Amino acid sequence: MSYEEVIFYFVAAVTVLGALGVVLTRNVVHSALFLILALLAVAGVFILLSAEFLAIVQILIYGGAVTILILFVMMLTRVRDMPQALDGPQRPFAALAAGAFLVLSVLAALSSDWPGETREITVVPFREMGEALFRDWAVPFEVASLVLLVALIGAIVLARGEEGE
Amino acid sequence: MAIELEHYLILGALLFSIGLYMALAKRNFVGVLMGIEMMFNAVNLTFIAFSRFPRFADMTDAERLSGHVFVIFVITVAAAEAAVALALAMLVYRNRETIDVDRMDLLKW
């Protein structure tokens, strides 16, 4: 086995086991910690796909921001008091839907004739990434910053509480 | 056998299915949100895999980078969604003392 295979299978195993841990563990705080593990492993897959910038973004935003936000909300809403049955009565339907999706997409992935490695691919340079983002995709980029601003204000207004009124 | 596109696609499908099950089956609002975040990540992984193995050999770098730029936008929207959804979770908890999605049934006749 080459290095690439060893690293891929290791990172893929960590991703899938982390994701299964998120679903199967009974404690929601452990579930969030497993989520951090799975998302960091996805950053490893990004590095393997020579997308270093996105791996860094993934670690910063998911490993740093989103999961910490989730942990904070768990703390503030005391979700430990939840009933023991974490999964609702819709569980078999959910399992059926997820299983059907998995089978369909794996069959589609295996039966299609994908292109192999068509040429030598180097690491995506940050410079080209920036040029693409600010030249070809400038308008969507500005809209995305507007979305972030609106979400920021909306989250503050929603979570502020009554005392400000 | 080298690592091909299929490997990444199957990994993405696995991650998406686990996230889908989680988003559909969990009773905890935050759990549903974690499932949605996992689905976002699976899609991002697939985007970058397709960008790494381009369909046509003569694609320019700008075309190839579209996949990466899309992932940046997905991450942006996912972060905004997480912030608003968690604020909503706190609001629901404050008003109804629960974040069990099965008990948020005011609109059910």
Taking only the tens place, the pLDDT of each residue in A65-112 is 888 888 888 888 775 555 555 666 788 888 999 999 999 999 988 888
Domain termination residue (choose one: A59, A85, A111): A85
Of B10, B65, B89, nearest to A124 by CB-CB distance is B65
pLDDT value at residue A113: 76
Contact A55, A43 (CB under 8 A): yes
Give the model confidence (pLDDT) of A109-157 as tens digits: 888 877 665 555 666 778 888 888 888 889 999 999 999 999 999 999 9
Range of the domain at A40: 1-85
**Considering the domain boundaries, does residue A95 fall inside one?**
no
pLDDT value at residue A148: 93
Contact B47, A45 (CB under 8 A): no
**Considering the domain boundaries, does residue A148 fall inside one?**
yes
B9/A116 touch (CB, cutoff 8 Å), yes or no: no
Q: Has the ipTM of the complex gone over 0.90?
A: no
A–B interface: beta-carbon pairs under 8 A: 242
Mean pLDDT by 10 residues, chain B (109 residues): 81 94 88 92 92 73 80 92 90 81 76
**Considering the domain boundaries, does residue A77 fall inside one?**
yes
Q: Is B100 helix (H, G, I), strand (E, B) or coil?
A: strand
| Domain co-membership, A81 together with A147 | no
- Tokens at residue B32, please? 């549903």
Vertex B25, ends B76 and A22: CA angle to 5°?
Answer: 60
Rounded Cα gap, residues A153 and A146, in angstroms? 11
Chain centroid offset of residue B32 CA: 11
**Considering the domain boundaries, does residue A109 fall inside one?**
no
B5/A98 touch (CB, cutoff 8 Å), yes or no: no
Backbone torsions φ then ψ of B100, nearest 5 degrees = -80, 115
**Considering the domain boundaries, does residue A130 fall inside one?**
yes
| Domain co-membership, A142 together with A63 | no
pLDDT value at residue B96: 79
pLDDT value at residue A116: 62
**Considering the domain boundaries, does residue A156 fall inside one?**
yes
Contacts of residue B21, defined as CB under 8 A and 6 or more positions apart, other chains included, come to A23, A94, A95, A97, A98, B35
Does the structure show a pLDDT above 90 at A4? no
| Domain co-membership, A75 together with A131 | no
| Domain co-membership, A78 together with A129 | no
pLDDT value at residue A131: 85
Q: Is B26 helix (H, G, I), strand (E, B) or coil?
A: strand
pLDDT value at residue B58: 67
Give the model confidence (pLDDT) of A5-41 as tens digits: 899 999 999 999 999 999 888 888 888 999 999 999 9
Rounded Cα gap, residues A52 and A146, in angstroms? 26
Taking each helix axis from N to C end, the angle separating A67-77 and A28-48, rounded to the nearest 10 degrees, works out to: 170
Residues, chain B: 109
All structural domains of chain B, each given as residue ranges with its CATH number in brackets, are 5-103 (1.10.287.3510)
| Domain co-membership, A3 together with A65 | yes
Q: How many domains does chain A have?
A: 2
| pTM of the complete model | 0.88
| Domain co-membership, A2 together with A81 | yes
| Domain co-membership, A2 together with A59 | yes
pLDDT value at residue B78: 92
A144/B10 touch (CB, cutoff 8 Å), yes or no: no
B79 touches chain A (CB under 8 A): yes
| Domain co-membership, A71 together with A3 | yes
